Structures are given as structure tokens and as C-alpha cells.
Amino acid sequence: MLEALKEKVWRANLELQKKGLVLYTWGNASEILREEGLVVIKPSGVPYEELRPESMVVVDLDGKIVEGSLRPSVDTKIHLDLYKFFPEIGGVVHTHSTYACAWAQACRDIPCLGGTHADYFFGPIPCTRPLSEEEVERSFEGDTGKVIAERFVGIKPLEVPGVLVAYHGPFTWGKDADEAVFHSVVLEEIARMSWLTLAVNPRVIPLSPKMLEKRYFRKHGKDAHYGQGSLH
């Protein structure tokens, strides 16, 4: 079972590069086996060309390496925290994709400005508060999961499947690693489109709540009527 998952997580990581979201080694995808409490994640700083399914690292929810000879991603603690805070998710992705990072560095939520956004994110894409000096001192990896969770009070993680970490970059998630990758790609495109929209009309009014609701639930939930019953 772990072999199949390593292969799947490996492919998900390669897909990030194929979609143009990562430069060098700046991205990582993981997936969790909920029952076993095991997470398969990319190793730290290994060039994508050298990655193999067997390079993937298996850790438990405390971050202890269960299988694999390489060190896991430096962002592993954040992945694990997300799995703990959001029990309904099964895959996590982090990248430094350019437009999403620009919004994260600008410390701004991405407002919902149109249908492309509303089709996949049910509301603005939140940006976390910056870490305090004390949090940074303690370990910014350690508290990043916490500040993400703070922003999701009252938001269902699978309805807003991504976040911008201030001064850092985007994290996305989904039912599994593939869906988390998909949301990464969509988030980058939304970040770009919204950036361009604001530039051409800085006073634009976000989508109305009614329209947001209509668009989002056209693709999601029990009354969805998009696609052939498949994922997207």
C-alpha cells in the first residue's frame, strides 16, 4: 500500500514542476493514510530529475521517519499540522508559485473577483497574519500551522482549499495529493487573474455573495451539475 502511495505522491510532486509552479526544489506535496497515521512526503532539496518513488519519505504524525533514507521536506511540520487541524483533508501542497507568493508577500487576501475563483474557492483566499517576533524566535515552521488554523475558524477547509502564509507563500490541500496539486495550479491562475483585474480597475467590487454561492455549488455538493461526475 505504501509503495502505491509513494508512487502517487512522487507523481504529484512531478506534476507541480510540469505545471510550471516550481523553480529548482521549491515545492512539496504529501498525502496521508488516516488510519495508519502515516504521511508520505517529498524529501528536502532533491532535484526533481533525481526523485524516484522510493525517494519519498514516510513519517508519522509526530514527524518521526518511519521509512526512507532521506531527510523529509523542511515544511513537513506544517503539512503535519494541517493534517491535524483539518481532519477532512488527505493531501497537502506547498509551492513558491510567483503570483500567489506576490499576494502572500503583500499580506493581502485574494478577494473573490469572478467566476474562475468562485468555481473552486468559496470566498476570499485568506492570508495569515505575520508571525510575531516571539513565534519566529521559537521557530517559524512550528507556528505556521497554528496561524493558518486561526484564519480558518468558521471556514470549511474543503470549501476554501488553500491559504497564503504571509511573507512566505501558498499552501493548498484537498481530498488527496492530486486534488491538492490541482488546487495549487488553480490558485496560481486565480492569483494572476486577480492581480491583473485590480491593476485595470483598483475599485472593482467583489462578486456578490449570491453569485458566489450559485457558482460554487454548481461545481460542488449534492446539486452540482458540472462534469461527468468526475473530480473537477
Determine which one of 119, 167, 176, 216 is catalytic: 119
| Three-class HEC string of the chain | CHHHHHHHHHHHHHHHHHCCCCCCCCEEEEEEECCCCEEEECECCCCHHHCCHHHCEEEECCCCEEECCCCECCCHHHHHHHHHHCCCCCEEEEECCHHHHHHHHCCCCECCCCHHHHCCCCCCECECCCCCHHHHHHHHHHHHHHHHHHHCCCCCCCCCCEEEECCCEEEEEECCHHHHHHHHHHHHHHHHHHHHHHHHCCCCCCCCHHHHHHHHHHHCCCCCCCCCCCCC
Q: Which of residues 37-96 bind its own copies (CB under 8 A)?
A: 43-46, 70-71, 74, 96
Please identify, using beta-carbon distances, which residue of 53 and 115 lies nearer to its own copies. 115
Please identify, using beta-carbon distances, which residue of 37 and 163 lies nearer to its own copies. 163
Cβ 1 to its own copies shortest distance, Å: 26
Which span (7-15, 82-90, 146-154, 219-227) binds its own copies, by CB under 8 A?
A: 219-227
Q: Does 12 bind its own copies (CB under 8 A)?
A: no
Which span (8-16, 34-42, 83-91, 97-105) binds its own copies, by CB under 8 A?
A: 97-105
Which span (31-39, 84-92, 149-157, 184-192) binds its own copies, by CB under 8 A?
A: 184-192
Cβ 149 to its own copies shortest distance, Å: 20
Residue in the block written with cell 506544517: 78
Q: Given candidates 130, 149, 151, 158, which one binds its own copies under the rule CB under 8 A?
A: 130
Q: Given candidates 27, 169, 170, 174, which one binds its own copies under the rule CB under 8 A?
A: 169
Q: Alpha-carbon distance 46 to 27, whole Å?
A: 11
Q: Does 121 bind its own copies (CB under 8 A)?
A: no
The verdict on whether 226 is a catalytic residue reads yes
Q: Alpha-carbon distance 166 to 135, whole Å?
A: 13
Q: Does 230 bind its own copies (CB under 8 A)?
A: yes
The verdict on whether 176 is a catalytic residue reads no
Q: Alpha-carbon distance 118 to 120, whole Å?
A: 5
Which span (34-42, 59-67, 154-162, 179-187) binds its own copies, by CB under 8 A?
A: 179-187
Q: Given candidates 116, 149, 151, 158, which one binds its own copies under the rule CB under 8 A?
A: 116
Q: Does 153 bind its own copies (CB under 8 A)?
A: no
* Residues known to be catalytic: 119, 226
